[in-house]
Amino acid sequence: MADERKREDAPGREDAPKRAAEPRRERPAGGMGRRAFYLRMVASSIIRRRSRMLVALLAVAIGATVLSGLVTIYYDIPRQMGQEFRSYGANFILVPSGGGGSLSAAEAERAREYFPAGSVVGIAPYRYQTAKINEQPFMVAGTDLAEARKTSPYWFVSGDWPESAGQALIGQEVADTIRLLPGSVFTLTGAAPDGKSFSRDFHVSGVMQTGGTEEAFIFVSLGDFDGLMGEGAFDVVECSVLAAEAELSAAAGRIAADMPGVAPRLVRRVTQSEGTVLAKLQSLVYLVTVVVLLLTMICVATTMMAVVAERRKEIGLKKTLGAANSGIVSEFLGEGVFLGGLGGLLGGGLGFVFAQMVSSRVFYRSIALRPALILVTLIVSVLVTGLACLLPIRGATEVDPAIVLRGE
């Protein structure tokens, strides 16, 4: 029978090495490690197919950029908007508590310690007393004018803020009543709380408009005020603090507990509206961020699907060569993780630039770099790309290796 034919029948076979009859060889230990070759394959796929991979990398990087930028803005909104809200005046005040409480300069200074470091924009103490100009009564306020300028940046001053003793900032209503202009001199007369009379000339350094009750006041430095009225406790201390309502409430609780003579209060109309606007703005950015994340996932998944689909034959070939499904998945996943990492790193950096541009154009302020956000962007990017790879690959591993033989 034909099937009885042995290979020895072949001409020249007697001297030929019996290759197929050799025992199966194990690879020498000096061979390249599997991991090293795996990395070589992944790197080759990315580097030598760079035009294809560039499309996928762009999809990942653009998604990561928008994501990183929006999250940076999301976390920076309270700081940005908080500074914006500080333009509308103090959001926290200290007053003497009822029943004989008093508010000293030391207590006003101590209050600074109860707020988060670096969050205090300004703390302006005020003393009020009535005095007369040309026998007309006016309210005189003594304050730390440099701090008042910080806590009340919305005051519109025609002329200059007082810079030396003997200068006063008067409200528009006062100026209209007694016809004073910047540079005018007026004489302030009256009696101090201890009954001692005073009379002193002041130069009008500037006229101030606020649209509020402050326009009926005359503001002088604390030194000048104490010189006229004698030293005494503050009537109110206005604080402008970059902090959320909850933080201010917590600080108020601690101050009330530590300083029994002092009653801390939040300026509700400011803190509440600030909180409401911030919450709405953050919700909006959060929503946009989630939508962008979903769109990024879809975009990356679609790109990766296209990448995997065009390599269907390669997958079939690898299966024909004996690759297990898990091996093929790990190869594509390796490429996805590399793309996700590189795209995430690029996106993290570009996202900061994007956030910086938005911040400087919308809030006119620079934004702080948060290295943790770049790390988070990197991780999210790797996860999203990995996930986006997994879905199409799982389907692709079902490829029948016979398609390679059929040439399909």
Nearer of residues 76 and 331 to another protein, judged by Cβ: 331
Least Cβ distance, residue 330 to another protein (angstroms): 12
Q: Give 25 or 361: the residue with its C-beta nearer to another protein.
A: 25
Amino acid at 248: L
- Residue 240, both tokens: 């402008």
Burial of 316 (0-12, 13-18, 19+ CB in 10 A): buried
Distance, C-alpha 246 to centroid of its chain: 19
Q: How far is the CB of 384 from another protein (least distance, A)?
A: 24
Of 29 and 372, CB closest to another protein: 29
From the number of C-beta atoms within 10 Å of its C-beta (0-12, 13-18, 19+), residue 208 rates as: buried
| Minimum separation from the CB atom of position 15 to another protein (A) | 9
Q: Compare residues 41 and 277 and give the one whose CB is closer to another protein.
A: 41
Q: Closest distance between another protein and the C-beta of residue 61, in Å? A: 21
d(CA 166, CA 70): 51
- Kindly tell me which of 23 and 193 has the beta carbon lying closer to another protein: 23
Q: 10 or 54, CB closer to another protein?
A: 10
Residue nearer to another protein on the CB measure, 231 or 400 = 400
Nearer to another protein, 81 or 317 (CB): 317
Min dist. Cβ of residue 328 to another protein (A) = 10
Q: How far is the CB of 327 from another protein (least distance, A)?
A: 7
Task: For residue 147, count other CB atoms closer than 10 A to its CB.
Answer: 21
Nearer to another protein, 47 or 106 (CB): 47
Q: Tell the smallest beta-carbon distance from residue 74 to another protein (Å).
A: 40
Q: SS3 for 322-366, per residue?
A: CCCHHHHHHHHHHHHHHHHHHHHHHHHHHHHHHHHHHHHHHCCCC
124: helix, coil or strand? strand
Distances (CA, A) of 311 to 307, 330, 342: 7, 15, 22
The residue written with tokens 């009885």 in the block is 4
Comparing CB distances to another protein, the nearer of 3 and 194 is: 3
Contact positions vs another protein (CB under 8 A): 1-13, 16-22, 24-28, 30-34, 36-38, 40-41, 44-45, 48-49, 313-314, 317-324, 327, 400-402, 404-407
For the bound state, the minimum distance from the C-beta of residue 32 to another protein, rounded and expressed in Å, comes to 4
Q: What CA–CA distances, in Å, run from 169 to 163, 229, 277, 391? A: 10, 18, 33, 70
Cα dihedral 154, 159, 165, 169 sign = negative
Cβ-count burial 280-294 (b if 16+ within 10 Å, e if not): ebbeebeeebeebbe
Contacts of 227 (CB under 8 A, 6+ apart): 200
CB of 304 to another protein, least distance (A): 17
Angle at the Cα of 85 from the Cα atoms of 82 and 87, rounded to 5 degrees: 125
Alpha-helical (H) ranges within 212-267 are 222-229, 245-258
